[in-house]
């Protein structure tokens, strides 16, 4: 019986590791994009502060039963729309050539990270909570494991995006895709919307973010261009 319990415990722990690896990816992209224009020192501070905020949010959601939160009608709908807006804002900020004020931008980056994680943490808490099967030690393990994954993953994302600027569009597209999926998976809509509609809406969310960013960037370039007299 003891060996069976140990095996179940090990399998649950493995599930939690895999869940954290998968679900921390979206958060790492947001943190990486929000901090990539900061200098190295400010970036490290913002990443750690954002990751700490993310973990605290997950602990909070665990404490107030995230399962009941997800049953609130239109909560995921509103969260998904907010995530699409965050994707657009991050894309515009990362493609701008304007100089960055490290202190001001660091606070802005941390606020963006925490807002995005406020929206996205519920899925992580539910998945880890389900895999832990009520075992408090496994639940704490899953929450703590997500922090180094977020820090390491976001540092890597920020570094790669700084080197290959075109990846800002890929990152924004992934965030918009997650937002579009969240909209369609809201409690009121999930039962009536077919899976292919969710897929189409997620694609439209990505298209909207990329197109809107291009239009806004074009207008900003027109406004800053010297006018002929």
Q: Structure pTM?
A: 0.70
Q: How wide is the angle at C-alpha 152 spanned by C-alphas 117 and 106, nearest 5°?
A: 55
How far apart are alpha carbons 179 and 26 in whole angstroms? 11
Q: What is the pLDDT of residues 58-68, one digit of tens each?
A: 777 665 544 55
Among 33-37, 67-71, 91-95, the range scoring the smallest mean pLDDT is 67-71
Task: Report the share of the chain in percent with pLDDT over 90.
Answer: 8
């Amino acid at each position: 019986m003891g060996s069976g319990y140990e095996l179940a415990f090990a399998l649950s722990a493995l599930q939690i590791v895999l869940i954290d690896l998968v679900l921390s990816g979206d958060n790492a992209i947001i943190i990486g994009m929000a901090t990539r224009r900061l200098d190295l020192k400010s970036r490290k501070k913002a990443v750690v502060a954002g990751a700490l905020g993310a973990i605290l949010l997950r602990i909070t959601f665990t404490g107030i039963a995230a399962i009941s939160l997800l049953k609130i009608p239109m909560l995921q709908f509103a969260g998904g729309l907010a995530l699409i807006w965050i994707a657009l804002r991050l894309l515009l900020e990362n493609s701008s050539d304007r100089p960055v004020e490290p202190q001001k931008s660091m606070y802005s980056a941390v606020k963006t990270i925490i807002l995005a994680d406020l929206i996205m943490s519920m899925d992580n808490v539910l998945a880890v909570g389900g895999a832990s099967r009520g075992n408090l030690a496994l639940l704490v393990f899953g929450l703590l494991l997500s922090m180094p994954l977020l820090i390491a993953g976001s540092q890597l994302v920020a570094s790669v995006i700084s080197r290959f600027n075109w990846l800002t569009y890929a990152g924004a597209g992934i965030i918009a895709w997650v937002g579009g999926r969240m909209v369609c998976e809201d409690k009121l809509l999930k039962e009536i919307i077919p899976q292919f509609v969710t897929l189409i809406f997620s694609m439209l969310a990505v298209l909207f973010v990329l197109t809107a960013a291009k239009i806004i960037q074009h207008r900003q370039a027109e406004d800053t261009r010297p006018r002929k007299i």
